[in-house]
Structure 1
Amino acid sequence: MARPVVDWRRATLIGAIAGGVFWGLTAGAILVSKASAIVVAGVCVTAAVVVVAGVLVYRQSTSPPDRAFGMGLVLAPLTGLAPVLIAFLPGLVTHVIVWKG
């Protein structure tokens, strides 16, 4: 039995809106906590939970709108991942290079 296709326009819209909300709240939490390790770990766990929830919704659904919602949840945490990595990786690489153990 063929599964219904994903409405990618709807999925990307849902992912963009949910991702904007997610990363807005994330940035606020990180700024307020002064980049506390516990808050950063909590953000990572929350992002993983959102992705897993999206996969579950996608796999359990049979209608295109529900499948698009699942894909949107998967895309939401990924929307801000590239800018975060661009800001985070140079500092991490610098610390690794100058680390003397």
Structure 2
Amino acid sequence: MDTVTALIQILLVAVVLGALALLLRWAFGNDRRAVPDYTGEDFGLLTEVAVVPTPEAARVLAERLRAAGIKTTIATRGDLHRLLVFPADAANAKLLLR
């Protein structure tokens, strides 16, 4: 009788662990997010509107955009300074920077 009880307990533990493994795989196993970009060329939600060679020029242009009410970010990589804005503001930012 004790052997049967022990086998039932082991089987019950195995079934519970299997069900837990299936539940976790269902909840977390199908990660379909895009692979992160480690090259530094992907700025997520932001769009590049200008590229300038000096940090002073980037600051001047960023202040011009901010004065017009457009939120902007400066991203620096190497010798290039990129002005980034949200896609909804990209057309207005490009017009303002002409």
TM-score by length of 2: 0.29
Q: Which has the higher contact order (CA 8 A, sep 6+)?
A: 1
Q: What TM-score results when the alignment is normalised by the length of structure 1?
A: 0.29
* Larger Rg computed on CA atoms: 2
Higher helix share: 1
